[in-house]
Amino acid sequence: MDLATLWFCIIAAFWLGYLFLEGFDFGVGMLLPVLGRDDTERRVMINTIGPVWDGNEVWLIVAGGAMFAAFPAWYAGLFSGAYLPLLIVLLALIGRGVAFEYRGKIDSARWRRNWDRVIMIGSWIPPMGVGLLLATTVLGLPLDAEGNRVGSAFAAIRWDTILGALAIVGFSLVHGAAFLALKTEGELRERARTLALRILPAALAPLLLLLVLVQSKEGEIWTAFALAAVPVAAAIAFWRLAVGREGQAFAALATVITAAALILFGALYPDVLPSTGDPANSLTVADASSSPYTLTVMSWVAAFGAPAVLVYQSWTYWVFRKRIGTKHIPKVHAPK
């Protein structure tokens, strides 16, 4: 395996890490007004992701940064091709982060309700944008011979890329509900588990349709096995939720998104951005990669940096592993 292919696999792993980790904390934010019946329950929900949500976003930064450094032509073609959707995603992420920080600064129900709305909106938009971006990089853009997008700034918005947006939103919803059932106790836990059971088939349907579409267009024999694993893992997640084993259901959903990433990036290779017009204009791993020297330096940095990030994040999840409920939430102590 050459360095360019190795970095293609590493970037795929970064995107998988982002979808898995940020997927559930987006889901928690989306479900904030659905499952949180009062301010205390909403604080419980926010506290389940409070110690980890900003660390989860590191995976998005690392994935985008690695694409920029290892495959500058891929980064330029994809990110400039979906410039407007990504700008909206960035604004939503900024608003979401600000809302987490400012929500408890004033002891006012109206103040908290407004920031809750920002958290909810900021949790719906990014998975839509990321799903659209991933579907675009797998299903392609109209590219000219120079690798530039042909057409308007909305060329990335098509029925198949919208299906990609719905796929990631649906997965985040059910992943968030399963995470809440795993991390909370009492009525909130039961409500989250019941909701996860009700929405799981419909929420994962767009993801399965997207994967079938990708497999039919660009799939390989080995990705067909990964596709077969998706409904099996989803059925296991449903079964384990039904018997109250939320941890095992959460792990089964992790298998769903891992198989999905294998299919998407496995079908994409050796391209990194197919052209929907002339296939000769598609960007390949070899065409888009940086110099061997750059990839070598990146490999040494990743060899030392990636384990450190993994150890730190694992430690964070271990420290905050216990369930929480309304009895653990203190009264509001907002500065006057």
pLDDT band of residue 156 (cuts 50, 70, 90) is: confident
In a domain? residue 118 = yes
pLDDT band of residue 336 (cuts 50, 70, 90) is: low
Report whether pLDDT(164) > 70.
yes
Rounded mean pLDDT of 284-289? 86
In a domain? residue 248 = no
Contact by Cβ (8 Å): 91, 46: no
> pTM to 2 decimals?
0.91
Among candidates 124, 118, 123, which has minimal Cα distance to 98?
A: 118
Among candidates 279, 103, 252, 122, which has minimal Cα distance to 179?
A: 252
Contact by Cβ (8 Å): 223, 261: no
pLDDT at 85: 83
Rounded mean pLDDT of 95-106? 89
Tell me the residue type at 325: G
**Can you say whether residue 274 is alpha, beta or left, with left for phi > 0 and alpha for psi between -120 and 50 degrees?**
beta
Contact by Cβ (8 Å): 298, 71: no
In a domain? residue 335 = no
Decide which of 77 and 32 is more confident: 32
In a domain? residue 334 = no
Report whether pLDDT(319) > 80.
yes
pLDDT at 29: 94
Rounded mean pLDDT of 118-125? 94
Between helix 72-81 and helix 83-102 the angle, nearest 10°, is 80
pLDDT at 73: 85
Question: Cα–Cα distance between 35 and 45 in angstroms, integer?
Answer: 9
Between helix 39-49 and helix 3-30 the angle, nearest 10°, is 170
pLDDT digits (tens, 9 = 90+) for 220-247: 888 899 999 999 999 999 999 999 899 9
Strand partners for 284: 271
In a domain? residue 312 = yes
pLDDT at 82: 77
Determine what percent of the chain is predicted with pLDDT higher than 90. Answer: 48
Determine what percent of the chain is predicted with pLDDT higher than 70. Answer: 98
Question: Cα–Cα distance between 266 and 245 in angstroms, integer?
Answer: 32
Say how many domains are in the chain: 1
Residue 190: half-sphere exposure toward Cβ, Cα within 13 Å: 2
pLDDT band of residue 260 (cuts 50, 70, 90) is: very high
In a domain? residue 330 = no
Rounded mean pLDDT of 179-190? 92
Report whether pLDDT(334) > 90.
no
Among candidates 206, 172, 242, which has minimal Cα distance to 32?
A: 172
pLDDT at 230: 93
Decide which of 217 and 209 is more confident: 209
Share the mean pLDDT of the chain. 89
Report whether pLDDT(24) > 70.
yes
pLDDT at 302: 87
Report whether pLDDT(281) > 70.
yes
Which contacts (CB < 8 Å, 24+ apart) does range 213-218 have?
Answer: 213/139, 213/160, 213/163, 214/138, 214/139, 214/263, 214/264, 214/267, 215/263, 215/267, 217/139, 217/267, 218/138, 218/267, 218/268, 218/274
Question: What does 260-317 look like in DSSP terms, one character per residue?
Answer: HHHHHHHHHTTEEE-BSS-GGG-EEHHHH---HHHHHHHHHHHHHHHHHHHHHHHHHH
Report whether pLDDT(314) > 80.
yes
In a domain? residue 93 = yes
Report whether pLDDT(93) > 90.
yes
Domain of residue 37: give its range: 3-195+270-319
In a domain? residue 49 = yes
Tell me the residue type at 9: C
pLDDT digits (tens, 9 = 90+) for 46-85: 999 988 888 888 888 888 888 899 998 888 888 877 788 8
Please tell me whether residue 149 adopts helix, strand or coil conformation. Answer: strand
Report whether pLDDT(335) > 70.
no
